[in-house]
Amino acid sequence: MNDQTQLQYDRIIERCRALFLAKTHDYGTAWRILRLPSITDQIFIKAQRIRSIQEKGTQLVQEPIDDEFVAIINYCVIALMQLRLPADAPLELEPAFVADAYEQEVADNRRLLFAKNHDYGEAWRQMRVSSITDIILMKLHRTKQIEDLQGRTLASEGVEANYRDMLNYAVFALILRGAAEQAT
């Protein structure tokens, strides 16, 4: 694994975590009310906005695309936390519990990233950000299909694998966008 990738990944996750915990302070855990399909739809909205801006080349709402990728990461973490919580978990969770759960999910994702990155040889570094956006949208459509099938699949890894992949692809996009900005 490239040391640069580890450093870039950790910096992006720290940025996402800081925002997530600040919002947890402000809003509590209101996200607990969301069912998984609603979280999937929130991720879809963010990815669709990114694609729309990429295709049009302009945007009317001046919210940075990077913020949308950060939102995708944090919604994926929310989905992963929701998958682990028991059905009777309270709506309001303690901030320390949420911080620990966030850390556990991103640690699991980091391990997955490094294993896949080893096998694929950092091929994502040669990808276009627009292709990464398309892959996230494809994984969203897969996730919606799995949700519509109520998890009864024949060959799929399931929704968790898709959330984990979308999280990592959003990190890749942020790394590539940062690298592109530094080169100019």
Answer whether residue 183 is part of any domain: no
Check if the beta carbon of residue 29 is closer than 8 Å to that of residue 48.
Answer: no
Q: Would residue 78 count as lying in a domain?
A: yes
Predicted local confidence at residue 25, as pLDDT: 96
Whose tokens are 């690298």? That residue is 179
User: pLDDT tens digits, residue range 70-113?
Assistant: 999 999 999 999 999 998 999 999 999 999 999 999 999 999 99
Residue 155: domain span? 3-177
CA distance 167 to 173: 10
Six-digit token string for 12: 């992006």
Q: Report the Cα 139 to chain-centroid distance in Å.
A: 11
Per-residue pLDDT band at 183 (split at 50, 70, 90): very low
Overall number of domains in the chain? 1
Residue 184 maps to a domain: no
Rounded average pLDDT over 117-145: 95
| pTM for this entry | 0.94
Does a structural domain hold residue 169? yes
Q: Worst-scoring range by mean pLDDT, 2-6, 9-13, 127-131, 156-160?
A: 2-6
| CA–CA separation, 16 and 44 (whole Å) | 18
Categorise residue 64: left if φ over 0, alpha if ψ from -120 to 50, beta otherwise: beta
Q: Is residue 12 part of a domain?
A: yes
Alpha helices in the chain (DSSP H): 3-27, 36-56, 65-84, 95-120, 129-148, 159-183
Residue 101 lies in a domain: yes
Per-residue pLDDT, 179 = 60
pLDDT 10s digits, 161-182: 999 999 999 999 999 999 655 5
Does the residue 124 lie in any domain?
yes
Does residue 142 form part of some domain? yes
Q: Locate tokens 């990592």: which residue?
A: 168
Q: Which amino acid is present at 62? A: Q
Each residue of 56-77: pLDDT tens digit? 998 898 899 999 999 999 999 9
Distance of CA 145 to the CA centre of its chain: 18
